[in-house]
Structure 1
Amino acid sequence: MKSRIAALTTTAKGVPDRVPIVGRAVGQLVRVNLLDSATRLAAQAFLSALPALFVVAVFAPAAVRENVVSSLRDQLGIEGEAQQQVQQLMSAGHDDVAQSFGLIGALVTLLSATALSRAMQRVCERCWELPKSGTRVAAWRWLAWLAVWLVVLVCQVPVRDGFGAGAWLGLPLFMLLATALWWWTQHLLLGNRVRWYPLLPGALLAGAAMTGLGIAAQVYLPGAVSRSITKFGPYGVVFTSLSWLIVLFTAVTLAIALGRVVAEEPLVARHLEAWGKRD
């Protein structure tokens, strides 16, 4: 038995040497610190970006507010009493909202939400082993990325529904939207230090992951939220939503990290280089 275990261990250790892409993938995930990075992103999204979404949505037209509620329900499982509270906040008058938040409070909330942008930038820089960008160079990029990310979050429900046509059109459209978002995200937050085409594999992986998790969320989250509320009361929504955000950002971080490994494979790199020269 001991000799068999030793043989299996030796075989496992030799896999990265025989399959170079496996060794590079393992090294990449260790360098990025996958779970730690994903947890930081999820915490920043929950604590800063979602409040910023509320601040923006309450001043927006009714259609936008409805899309926000639908997105929170589909992506985070916020329903029942929590959904009613969100709808009450969204339906409040602009004067009441302004008194509640205040101009300074709204600005502080929006600026603090760039913590998510900064965390995402650090993940991209780790994946591509690049030094941090200067604050003057990166500051406007944080705001730009946050604004686009919030817009995509609001619009994802009608896109996934194919604008009324159904999932047969909605899922391919959402896949294209998610791929475009994460392709542009890497290029923007890396400060144009990596060309477009090497970033494409990571964007495709992230788009596929977001599409699959979007389907899984509609199946899994309603029951998970109900069970969590039964066990923990109103706090169950918080626990389940934060846990699901960790899953989402783990998938994104994994996709971007492995995207670099795929892009540097000789065969893939040659094709990407050829496409780049055509343009």
Structure 2
Amino acid sequence: MRSVKLSVALAREVSVARTEAVTGWLRGTPYGRTLRRVIDGLVAIQIVDRSLALAAQIFTSVLPVIITASVLSGWNAGAKTINDQFGFDAGSLSGSNGSVPVDPSFAAFGVVGLLMVVLGGTSFARALARVYGAVWKVPVIGPRDAWRWLATLLAVALSAGLVGQTRELTQIRYAGQPLALVGEVAIWAFVWTLAPFLLTKGALTGRLLWVSGVLTAVGLTAVHVAGRVVLPRITTNAQQHFGPLGLAFTSVSWLFVMSVVIVGAASVVEALALDETSVGRYLRGPVSGDHE
């Protein structure tokens, strides 16, 4: 029901835009108005501020969950993702062969410690929920729906490890690299379709969800591929000059770029949903009165 109401609201905004007496390409044509909505939407959402906040939450909330889960389970997929993206061996920081040594006291911390990290990590999901609430103008979920925060956090953390595993596909002759890219896009698309569905309590239509998920996935995959080219050199220089502090700064900076993709994709899809051509009509779905 909420998704239908949202489609009707979007259609009404389109109707108002059509009746405005404006001139100039940006305001006087459907494509110009769509481009203007994209620009206005990115400004209105305060993309830089929200992306900075989201990047900080990923660094302080999501990464600890990935690290703790890797230590307790022995599944080093998260470390593989970091090594592949940033070009440094996590083992060089721990003085081991790629894994973090677990002493008995930490092992005793066990499940209780992981639970504490996960519960604290929901601040990332809350920040992401505020982003979607601002973009789509829907109520932000509260503590009564806390399980949605937890499910989103775990899905994002798990996806980071799975993305690292897709690099194993590159060992397949000829088709390995394309398969790895397709696998990465598929993982990101699923996660970033699921996240807004959970955090908006189903307020978005299926079309808005999957288009937003695919756009986010393509953007994150492009950033990931570019990172494999430029980040190893940047990371090496940062580590040589500033040590671990340089690695932390590089990581947060790249997480900011990824956050820009996440926030920007949602804002762009919202602007496209107001498009007066077939693109907007498809995204809004069948709504009475929305026709040329």
TM-score range, shorter chain: 0.7 to 0.9
Residue 154 of structure 1 pairs with residue 161 of structure 2: yes
Contact kept? 2:91, 2:100, Cα under 8 Å: no
TM-score of the superposed pair, with normalisation by structure 1: 0.83
Instruction: Give the corresponding residue for 2:5.
Output: none
Matches within 5 A, 1:10-29: 14-18=24-28, 19-29=32-42
Other structure's SS at 2:131 match:
helix
Listed one character per residue, the Cα deviations across residues 89-119 of structure 1 (whole Å, up to 9, x for unaligned) are 84424734324x4655433222111111111
Contact kept? 2:80, 2:164, Cα under 8 Å: yes
TM-score of the superposed pair, with normalisation by structure 2: 0.80
Distance 1:242 1:259, change over 3 A: same
Counterparts of 1:121 and 1:31 in 2: how far apart (Å)? 17
Contact kept? 1:201, 1:263, Cα under 8 Å: no
Question: How many residues are paired up?
Answer: 258
Counterparts of 2:96 and 2:45 in 1: how far apart (Å)? 38
Contact kept? 1:199, 1:263, Cα under 8 Å: no
Name the Cα RMSD after superposition: 2.5
Instruction: Give the corresponding residue for 1:238.
Output: 248
Contact kept? 1:37, 1:123, Cα under 8 Å: yes
Counterparts of 2:263 and 2:284 in 1: how far apart (Å)? 24
Give the residue type in structure 2 aligned to 1:143.
L
Contact kept? 1:32, 1:127, Cα under 8 Å: yes
Matches within 5 A, 1:260-275: 260-266=270-276, 267-272=278-283
Residue 254 of structure 1 pairs with residue 264 of structure 2: yes
Instruction: Give the corresponding residue for 2:48.
Output: 35
Counterparts of 2:183 and 2:253 in 1: how far apart (Å)? 27
Other structure's SS at 1:59 match:
helix
Residue 113 of structure 1 pairs with residue 128 of structure 2: no
Instruction: Give the corresponding residue for 1:48.
Output: 61
Residue 98 of structure 1 pairs with residue 107 of structure 2: yes
Residue 69 of structure 1 pairs with residue 79 of structure 2: yes
Distance 1:103 1:182, change over 3 A: closer
Residue 135 of structure 1 pairs with residue 146 of structure 2: no
Counterparts of 2:250 and 2:164 in 1: how far apart (Å)? 20
Matches within 5 A, 1:142-181: 142-162=149-169, 164-165=171-172, 166-181=176-191
Other structure's SS at 1:252 match:
helix
Give the residue type in structure 2 aligned to 1:120.
L
Counterparts of 1:265 and 1:87 in 2: how far apart (Å)? 54
202, 205, 208: which one aligns with 2:215: 205
81, 84, 88: which one aligns with 1:79: 88
Distance 1:273 1:124, change over 3 A: closer
Give the deviation of 1:78 after TM superposition.
6.1
Contact kept? 1:34, 1:250, Cα under 8 Å: yes
Give the residue type in structure 1 aligned to 2:257.
V
Give the deviation of 1:199 after TM superposition.
2.4
Counterparts of 1:127 and 1:241 in 2: how far apart (Å)? 26
Contact kept? 2:90, 2:98, Cα under 8 Å: no
Residue 57 of structure 1 pairs with residue 66 of structure 2: no
Counterparts of 2:246 and 2:214 in 1: how far apart (Å)? 33
Give the deviation of 1:181 after TM superposition.
1.4
From the two aligned structures, give the one with the greater helix fraction. 1
Contact kept? 2:193, 2:210, Cα under 8 Å: yes
Counterparts of 1:264 and 1:194 in 2: how far apart (Å)? 14
Counterparts of 1:264 and 1:94 in 2: how far apart (Å)? 56
Give the deviation of 1:192 after TM superposition.
0.7
Deviates more, 1:110-119 or 1:45-54: 45-54
